[in-house]
Amino acid sequence: MRKVRIGVIKAEPVKWNKRKNWNTLDRLVRKAARGGAKLVITPECFLDGYVASDKRSTQEKFRRIAERGAKGTYIKKASALAKQLGLYFVVGFTDTPDGKTFYNAAYLFDPKGRIAGKYYKIHIGARYTPGNALPVFDTSFGRVGILICADRRWPENTRILALKGAEVILIPSYGMWHEANECWMRTRGYENGVYICFAHPKVAFVVNPKGNVEAKLMGSVDDVLLHDLDTVTHAHLNQRRPDLYQTLTEPLS
């Protein structure tokens, strides 16, 4: 892995207001770029404000707020911004490629504005269809994986990404930012020898492969945390005993 500076956005989105949320993203991504960031990550479903949690939501409102995959207006804006600034950009939003099925999504754009990766949340709430894959994406600085919010609660998800070669795990989130969360994330970083980069409306932080919080940003002001990521070794993964772990994949009776 090559050294890279990440920008982790800590900002509160406005439900149902993609224009305002985009303006916030545009401002903070540009700030991150001026600070030398080559990878920027937003909180979960930032574009729409995580409207799935709004009890007033209707299916029709949900359909209208969702982006139509790569054809979506704001997805095109995200692509153009990544290309203009020459950086990798992960944006969270509600995705409906076919107008019928809805995913809690995070797209990874590369410095040329191309979609370098898509991830759909696998442990989902109401209105969403779960994703069915844990992909790892190649970048110019190393390999990255993405988990969205609740996906981080299951240690197997992070382990699979690490075994696939991920050196950095990006976690856009909206809920569950209590004190225990930091303990979880430190554990995930240490037990897999990876960086954990956590983006949430209330807090942004980076955990190193030794399980230490290297940088953290809190407060009521929308902002972006800048931090340099360095070498990853996955040192102890080759000491696993997978021959003893079959029970982990057996369903509960």
Catalytic residues: 44, 121, 149
DSSP 67: B
Tokens 């009521």 belong to residue: 220
Per the structure block, which two tokens stand in for 178? 């209590």
DSSP 73: H
Whether the CB-CB separation of 215 and 227 falls below 8 Å is answered with yes
DSSP secondary structure, 92-130, as one string: EEEE-TTSS--EEEEEEE-TTS-EEEEEE-SS--TTPPP
Q: What is the C-alpha end-to-end distance of the chain, expressed in Å?
A: 42
For residue 79, what are the contacts with CB-CB under 8 A and spacing of at least 6? 70, 109, 113, 114, 115
What's the rounded Cα separation, in Å, for the pair 208 and 24?
A: 28
